[in-house]
Amino acid sequence: MRIPAGAMLLIAAGLLTTGTLMAQRDDRRQQQWAIISLHPDASGLADLLTAALSQSPHVTLVERDQIRLVLDELNLQASGLVERGEATRFGHLSKATGLVLLGSDSPQKSQPLRVRLIDTRSSVRLLDRVVANVNLDDQVGVISEALLAAAAPLSVSEKQLRFISIMPVLSAEPGNPMHAECDMLTTLLSAEFFRLPEFVVLEREDLERLTAERDVSGIELKWRGATRLLEIGLRRNEVNTGWIASCRLATPGNANPQLFDVRCETRNIAQLRSKIVTEVLKRVGGEGITYDADSAEQEAARFDRQMRLFRGASARDREMDAYKMAEAAYALAPNHKRFDAVMRHIVDAIEEHANEKQWLSALRLGVRHQKLKLDDLQTNGSSLIRMMTRIAPDEVRKRMPAPSGVVGVSHYSPSLRATNAQEQALLNEILILRRNYVDVKLRRAKDHPLPTFICLLQKYDLELNHELPDADCVQKLSELLPAIYRSADTAGIKREMSDPYYRLLFGKMISTLSKLERVRTSRSTTPNWKRSDPQLWLDQLAKLDAPLSRIANLRMQLRERGDAGLQAATKLLAEIKTFPLDPTADDTYVDVRLRTPAFYRLPPEQRHEYLLDVLVACESQQDPSQLILHANSFRMYLQRLPEQEMRPIGARIVALLNLEHETKNPRLRSRSYLLGIASRYASVDRSRDDLRARRNGADFTLETASGAWQQYVARTLRPKPTGKAYAIKHVHYDNREDAISRGGELILCWGLPWKGMQLERLNLTTGKQTPIGKEFKGAPVAFRGVQVCVSPDAIFVASDPPGFTMVTQSFTRTFTKKVGLVEEDIWSMAWWEDRLYIAYKDAFGTFDPETFQFQLLASSLSVEPKNPIDGRGGFFIRQLFPDRAAGCIWMTVQDNANAHRTGLWRVDPQTNSFHRLSDRSTQLTAAPGGLLVHNNRDPYLAWLPAGTTTPIELPQFSHASAKTPGPSPKLIRVGEHVISERGGLFTADGESHQAAVKERWSLLQCAGDGFVTHFDHLRRTLHLIERKK
């Protein structure tokens, strides 16, 4: 989602004024706002903002019912309020001066939310920002403060109000764009004007509307005279000690703009900003406006807060916006913490532009990044070098025993690319700045061997991976080698892989070798690498490091055809064995760039022999170190073995890796990965046998179950899937009288590929399957599954995708917010007489299937509650069960606010009245003759007979409801027994009997005189348990 042009400036100012404006506007009159959700995901934020803003003494909120009446009067959907002029029409009818719109620019779920505050007098946006659709509870306080701060112009009379649009500041110097300074001045100006209540900083979209020549409404004409457009050209003064800002202040429709220059004799951008604001106020009739600039630290702190908010959002351009806030704070009041923030966010902004292939913007930021780093190094030096130069080399080795990774230039930026001459010039500037940075570090590290060694490796990395145009790369690398090895010897670095610093040097040399090999075999032209013969580098390496040189030459010979390449592979593998490797080190360069290429240069039979020799050697020494060093080769080797050899070899590897050897090998990742692979191949036959036995085994039975289970018999059904159906996702027993008269029926929800679903009726007496309606999109919701409700003429299914689907023999239709659904997150449904009762997240309502009309009975957004469920604060209605004999619907409520709604409730559908029977958080399950009420926290078990309104406690079954910290196990009542989803049967005499079950009974529910237990996905069988006849 891309924020509209100019919106970043409006967003940035949203919190920069918090505190200052609140202090200035304590005397403002009370404003009336309307909060409207335009997107399904925004309802939660609307709820939180309603609760937060209702506490403000400056704001009153328009009731939701009143909002709907006004929208109906305007014949307008809520989303239409973002259109030009509609907000003003809405404001006139609703008497709301501020309109808060919560929406998203994407119809998909879990997308960033967009918060807009609109002044209904002018339809101009006072705030437009994007927030992450996660952890809204943590953000709502800051968003509320931003809205209240941005609403300051609502308290200013129309005569005093001014509109200003600040165009991006441009450089007035040819050949010197000064992008960073111009961007910073733009950000500071926008924030400062936003801080003044009498000014509204316009987005580009609103500016175009107020300055349009055609289709101009009365609103635009009314405010055009109060609108100003500020354009600035920035240049340095004559002696390069300050700034000159050439300003152009124009009014739409006025051909005579005001032109003036503002001078600042220092290089302080904040001072220049303050002078510009003062001059603009003089020219727009703002003499009565009080303007006092805050201190640099106060303003920087506000930018720090805004930067953190941008960092938490999940929208495109957020990193660029966060970087601008961070650099503004750093420019105002620099310190080490703000410098780190600038570095972090500018790198993220570079990556954001690079991912979008906006190379020019990414390269400009790259130049700024390198300049900031270089300036900081020249001013403050390198903390690492200072630490390493203050203490003795031996002490440094103790305090930094094992540097991780590869020493590079540490520029921390993604790969940048140039596609034209302008971009190439910027890229070259970055490369030069990187070299200057390393040269400064090298000069500061002189006379100190270890820091010098590190800096020389960084310089080597630059020439290896970031070469300049027209550079002779091989020559430069060859010239650096003697200095690197000399500094290594001076620093006491041992030439063996047990020394972590030598491993860094070894890795850099192997990287060079790979680069030279790619250049030699590549058909593309690489002039920088082909100016000199690669042998020059190899000869230089031979003089300095003979063992590594032998490996390098053999690696270069691997690509030779015929016997020459095979001999080089054999010798290289032998050389690696004798090379002083450290088995406790993660030698990535040895594994990936040396051993693996040599291994796969061998013919298959020699590979087999080589790895078997390694395996035998490890078994004889009872040490898996060499096995772990060859982890990558063994992984690929196992994958290519015939099945009859795979299992014994895998078992031998597993046995070795499970040894507790005294050399405590820390290569845990390689060991764990190889152990997982080997374990899988070692048991591949056994796993297949287990699957085959389970598929061909006997059906679930209760013949061996003990005690009261002998009164029951297990029954297996084998419903046949039709079409593309592959598994039963949910089962619902139809307890209506006409279905029971046909012998009892189950509603089967078959899963289809790509989150599809198909309904069928399964007759329990005849076994006949009858398809219902057409296929539709749907899948179980995490932790809640599928919700099904049956009426005489339709079946209603709530699943994922959100909303619910109405299935009949003639049509299948899905209902979402687009067609009037209150909320798309549905927890439960119940049918009563002629309508469907729906329990949404944070709401409760009805649906008329004849007119397709929705009615809201309770909502967490209500300002004035109309019933005990209605009112502020989130809640879930977890279950709904109709009881026609008692003339009510039973429901269980979980209150997420004050807990005054939690418990068991009875709803009278005739009067829509609510009565609470218990404040316990309970679970209901249907059974013939009533409902079982269960709470595992007390524990508590009760029976609610049909037609009554008072639960009867069942203390004789207290042992069935054990107190558990986790979710309550599902229980049902079957006659004089209580059954649990884990196969337990509980009797009134305190006894319990356990059936042999492998998995919990996920479909547990009563079905006639028996109950459904589960669906076996492997055998595709549906299991029921019935009383013995």
Q: Band the pLDDT of 19: cuts 50, 70, 90.
A: very low
Two structure tokens written together for 314: 């999940």
Higher pLDDT among residues 516 and 210, named by residue: 516
Q: How much is the average pLDDT of 390-415?
A: 54
DSSP-assigned letter for residue 785: B
pLDDT score of 132:
67
Q: Which residues contact 995 (CB under 8 A, 6 or more apart)?
A: 702, 705, 709, 983, 984, 985
Q: Band the pLDDT of 840: cuts 50, 70, 90.
A: very high
Is pLDDT above 80 for 833? yes
Lowest mean pLDDT among 3-12, 273-282, 549-558: 3-12
Q: Which residues contact 830 (CB under 8 A, 6 or more apart)?
A: 789, 836, 837, 880, 881, 882, 889
DSSP-assigned letter for residue 152: G
User: Over the stretch 357-379, which tens digit does the pLDDT of each residue have?
Assistant: 888 888 988 888 889 888 888 88
- Distance CA(957)–CA(941), nearest Å, equals 7
Lowest mean pLDDT among 105-114, 429-438, 805-814, 898-907: 105-114
Q: DSSP secondary structure string, 83-117?
A: STTHHHHHHHHH--SEEEEEE-SSSSTTPPEEEEE
Q: Is 257 helix (H, G, I), strand (E, B) or coil?
A: coil
- β pairing state of 31-37 and 98-103: parallel
- Distance CA(775)–CA(778), nearest Å, equals 9
pLDDT score of 317:
54
User: Over the stretch 628-674, which tens digit does the pLDDT of each residue have?
Assistant: 777 777 777 777 777 677 778 888 888 888 875 544 455 667 777 78
Q: Which residues contact 773 (CB under 8 A, 6 or more apart)?
A: 759, 795, 807, 808, 809, 811, 812
pLDDT score of 200:
78
With pLDDT > 90 as the criterion, what percentage of the chain qualifies? 28
pLDDT score of 760:
96
Q: Is 481 helix (H, G, I), strand (E, B) or coil?
A: helix
User: Over the stretch 473-520, which tens digit does the pLDDT of each residue have?
Assistant: 888 999 999 999 999 998 888 888 778 888 888 888 888 888 887 777
Which amino acid is it at 908?
Answer: D
Rounded to 5°, angle at Cα 281 from 279 and 284: 115
**What is the number of other CB atoms lying within 10 angstroms of the CB of residue 825?**
20
**CB 890, CB 881: distance < 8 Å:** yes
Higher pLDDT among residues 834 and 526, named by residue: 834
User: Over the stretch 253-307, which tens digit does the pLDDT of each residue have?
Assistant: 777 889 999 999 998 888 899 899 888 888 887 665 666 667 788 888 878 777 7
Closest CA to 232 of 260, 274, 207, 265: 260
Residue 175 class from Cβ within 10 Å (0-12 exposed, 13-18 middle, 19+ buried)?
exposed
Two structure tokens written together for 543: 């003089």
* Element holding 434 (H helix, E strand): helix 421-444
Q: How much is the average pLDDT of 421-450?
A: 87
Q: Band the pLDDT of 685: cuts 50, 70, 90.
A: low
Q: How much is the average pLDDT of 975-1002?
A: 92
User: Over the stretch 446-476, which tens digit does the pLDDT of each residue have?
Assistant: 777 888 888 899 899 888 888 887 788 888 9
Lowest mean pLDDT among 47-61, 276-290, 396-410, 888-902: 396-410
- Distance CA(158)–CA(121), nearest Å, equals 9
- Distance CA(590)–CA(304), nearest Å, equals 46
**CB 144, CB 53: distance < 8 Å:** yes
* Element holding 988 (H helix, E strand): none
Higher pLDDT among residues 969 and 727, named by residue: 727
**CB 550, CB 568: distance < 8 Å:** no
* Element holding 757 (H helix, E strand): strand 756-763
Peptide bond into 939 cis (omega under 30): yes
Residue 62 class from Cβ within 10 Å (0-12 exposed, 13-18 middle, 19+ buried)?
buried
Domains recognised in the chain with CATH numbers? 1-155 (3.40.50.10610), 160-197+211-293 (3.30.160.100), 297-380 (no CATH), 421-582 (no CATH), 603-695 (no CATH)
Lowest mean pLDDT among 260-274, 762-776, 962-976: 962-976
Two structure tokens written together for 663: 């050399």
With pLDDT > 70 as the criterion, what percentage of the chain qualifies? 81
- Distance CA(668)–CA(233), nearest Å, equals 59
Two structure tokens written together for 853: 């009309």
For residue 335, which phi and psi values (nearest 5 degrees)? -155, 175
